[in-house]
Structure 1
Amino acid sequence: MLIASAVVVVVAVAVVGALGLGGGGDEGPSAPPRTGSVVSVTRETLTERTTVDGQLGYGTELPLPVKATGTVTWLPEQGATVERGDELLRADDRPVILMYGSLPMYRSLGLAPREDEQAPADGQDPDGQGSGEQDPGEQQLGSGGGKSPALVGPSGSPAPEGPGSGEGTDASRTPSEPPELWGMDVMQFETNLAALGYTGFTVDERFTTGTAAAVRRWQRSLGLAETGTVGVGDVIYAAGKVRIGSAGARLGSAVGENTLTYTGTARKVIVNASAADASWAVRGSAVTVGLPDGSPVRGEVASVGKRAATPEGDGGEGGTGQPATIPVTVTIEDQKSIGRLESGPVTVEYVGNEVKDVLAVPVAALVALAEGGHGLETADGRFVAAKTGLFADGDVEVGGPAVREGMKVRIPE
């Protein structure tokens, strides 16, 4: 029994010693460290970035201004790219050609017939064969009144005399020469004709016999009658090459204004931005487009809508209550960076706010002070008050009388 009691006493003393309950020393065990690292207060530029959703595509489809009449006999495939000189469609098996320009085709272009001869009917050869009756829907261009021929303007009036008229005046034209059409639409058409390789005339505002000869060669290449006159429905102008959209007509139906739609060939992003927070949407501002695979692409704000709308209504009484939005169009200059993707959801990142040349620390360095507000713990354990500003990319703008550049502060664990 004595031996067993001794063993128990020894074990108890060892346990007490291990727990540190029997010592009477002045120093206890050291406290664990309160910080994981020390950082410096730096001076930098902070940029706050915001991400919104967008939709990649070719933009809104617009109807082609088709002025040809008859029956639709051919349509291109949706998504096809049409360039200058290519066919957009065929009406009564007659091609409608794309040209580049901003002025719509509003009249036929050709040489006006002389008063001593009768204009041929539409679609007949200009040699006078056929019925000899003029199409009532086609306006005869001429000077009228038995006077000698003159230049004919866009509205049928004589061209003004003066510098640049030159050969077009009555004094320099013989009665056997036909009058010439003139106007900016003539120059626009001649520019396209020359770009397609049909030359032999001066690109100006006058439709001359040289222009008519080039038109006949162009018509021959299209398999058309070589009349030397371009009908109002033969050409459609666009700013550049177009991408064919959806068709509003089928083969065999009548040609109309909604026969075919088109878009541009460049892919762009449409963002329905909040009308109340669209200050970032400024034309020319740089943004970053995030593709579905996560790769970033540089973009630029090209246009900003001026009319706000709600997703499902007007936002008033009985509306959806959703915030009003405005459409923002973002263009992407490097189309190859998008790859083969034609449409889909994307993100658009923009700079919401930016401050330059400010003191900043990591957000994790901020501590809450007992008296309120935020502060920083210095390397020697003191706490100093700090005013906070912009939060961006994990850093925060700080300031205050005790905060200076290069100061060492702790990041609490």
Structure 2
Amino acid sequence: MAGRRRGRGRTGKVVAGAAIAVAAAAAVAAALGVDFRSLFASPEAEATQETPETAEVTQTTLTETVAIAGDLGYGDALDLGCLLSGTVTDLPAAGDVIERGDRLYSVDDTPVVLMYGALPAYRPLQAGAEGADVEQFEENLAALGYDGFTVDDEYTDATAAAVEEWQEDLGLDETGAVELGRIVFAPDAVRVGTVDLQLGAAAQPGSTLLTYTGLDKVVTVEVELDYQELVVVGDPVTITLPDGTEATGTVTGSETAVTEEQSGGETEDVTYLEVTVAADDAAVFDALDQASVDVGFAGDSAEDVLAVPVEALLGLAEGGYGVEVVDGETTEIVAVDTGLFADGFVEVSGEGLEAGQSVVVPS
């Protein structure tokens, strides 16, 4: 397609007509004693033509980003059940942080204590017991500063002696044995979510007293199964905060979940992926408590392609798209085929289009 020069003059007939008009104006000006040249003086700024904004055609790899809304919080809340019978006499408040050795709640004015470990408490512990739960408990005793025993999978008399010291410090009967329900194991420190019972309520084995989460803020995203191929645990993602700030993150978990939705007056089960995302720098969440954020998952990619800003595309009268390629002082419209759109750029290909060329980007 022929190039067109910006700012060219009019055709010959128009110029000729203008010359006659100029001559007549000059005669009138002379009769009136007016300097003819002053009639056609114009500010210098008016004669200056703006240079169009341009962008370079680049050869690159484009990766589509699929943004899905998520919720910033502390992850899934877990129920904390009671294994003791009696009256609830002390409870934490929502938001409290409980660490190893701290009181979670009290029944009949005796504390139930948090310790760290992956194995739940499932039996009383006393001299003669052996197993992984014994070693887990002894690791906690040692971490709390009690000694005189060997940390292993055997609950010995030495372990019982250390337990008596621990019980004395807690105000418990010094039996040297740990009843079932006196300790609760969690992987790390916990943050209290909701408190389900009130002081004075009856505590019964199996009843839920409160919910808790971990301390780290994470983003939870509900991903439709149509997009499940985008979710890979360990893959990087982008996190867009409410103020528009972007941060990098990592997919840390994904599990299938089911929810009920109303459709046409009927209830149906909808299956989705509940995806957990952690920020690479947890400090980006410091100023936020609970908020809605966007998580960008990597989608389709196009490698080693020509790309221009999406704004450079022109709609052609005959249909399709083109770009305005700059060549010195002239420009030429080049028809292009478009491919992948990603992050404000679009994959393009067209006859004569090459990396390094400049294209007009309308302001």
TM above 0.5, one fold? yes
Cα RMSD between the aligned structures?
3.2
Q: CA separation in 1, counterparts of 2:269 and 2:129? A: 56
Q: Distance in 2 between matches of 1:410 and 1:249?
A: 67
Corresponding residue for 1:6? none
Aligned to 1:212: 160
Q: Which position in structure 2 is the counterpart of 1:57?
A: 73
For residue 200 of structure 1, report the CA deviation from its aligned partner.
0.9
Aligned residue in 1 for 2:227: 277
* Distance across 1 between alignment mates of 2:23 and 2:266: 72
Q: 2:194 — aligned with what?
A: 246
Correspondence for 1:222: 170
Judging changes above 3 Å, is the alpha-carbon distance between structure 1 residues 80 and 40 closer, same or farther for their aligned structure 2 residues? closer
Q: Label 1:41 to 1:19 Cα distance change in 2 as closer, same or farther (>3 A).
A: farther
Whether contact under 8 Å (1:35, 1:410) holds in the other structure is no
Counterpart position of 1:261: 211
Query: What's 2:37 paired with?
Result: none
| Partner Cα separation in structure 2 for residue 340 and residue 383 of structure 1 | 49
1:403 maps to: 353
Q: Please tell me the residue identity of whatever aligns with 1:306.
A: T
Match of 1:185 in 2: 133
Asked whether the equivalents of residues 301 and 330 of structure 1 are also in contact (C-alpha less than 8 Å), the reply is yes
Amino acid at match of 1:374: Y
Q: Distance in 2 between matches of 1:337 and 1:383?
A: 45
- Seen in structure 2, the aligned counterparts of structure 1 residues 318 and 34 have a Cα distance that, compared at 3 Å, is farther
Aligned residues between the structures: 320
Structure 1 gaps, min length 5: 1-12, 21-31, 112-179
Letter in structure 1 aligned against 2:133: D
Seq. identity, %? 44
Structure 1 residues 320 and 349, CA, compared in 2 at 3 Å: closer, same or farther?
A: farther
Q: Within 1, Cα distance between the matches of 2:153 and 2:227?
A: 49
The answer as to whether partners of 2:312 and 2:323 remain within 8 angstroms in 1 is yes
> Which protein is richer in helix relative to its size?
2
Which has the greater radius of gyration?
Answer: 1
Aligned partner (choices 284, 291, 298) of residue 351 of structure 1: 298
Unaligned stretches of 5+ in structure 2? 1-16, 25-47
Q: TM-score, normalised by structure 1?
A: 0.69
- Give the CA deviation at 1:244: 1.2
**Residue 368 of structure 1: how far off its partner (Å):** 4.3
Aligned to 1:103: 119
Distance 1:47 1:356 in 2: 8
Aligned ranges 1:2-401 → 2 under 5 Å: 17=21, 36-37=52-53, 39-111=55-127, 180-256=128-204, 257-309=207-259, 312-313=261-262, 318-319=265-266, 325-369=272-316, 372-378=319-325, 379=327, 381-401=331-351
Task: Decide which structure has greater strand share.
Answer: 2
The question of whether the paired residues in 1 share the 8 Å contact of 2:256 and 2:271 is answered with: no
Confirm or deny: 8 A CA contact 1:187 1:205 kept in the other structure: yes
1:207-265 CA-partner distances (Å, limit 9, x unpaired): 11110111111111111121101101111111111111222211111114211221111
* Contact 2:257/2:271 (<8 A) preserved: no
Measured in 1, the distance between the counterparts of 2:55 and 2:212 equals: 58
Counterparts of 1:359 and 1:332, CA distance in 2: 32
Does the CA-based 8 Å contact 1:68-1:96 persist in structure 2? no
- Measured at CA, do residues 308 and 94 of structure 1 come closer, stay the same or move farther in structure 2, by a change above 3 Å? closer
Matched to 2:309, the amino acid is P
User: Which 10-residue stretch deviates more, 320-329 or 241-250?
Assistant: 320-329
Question: Could you say what secondary structure the match of 2:67 adopts?
Answer: strand
Aligned partner of 2:172: which letter? L
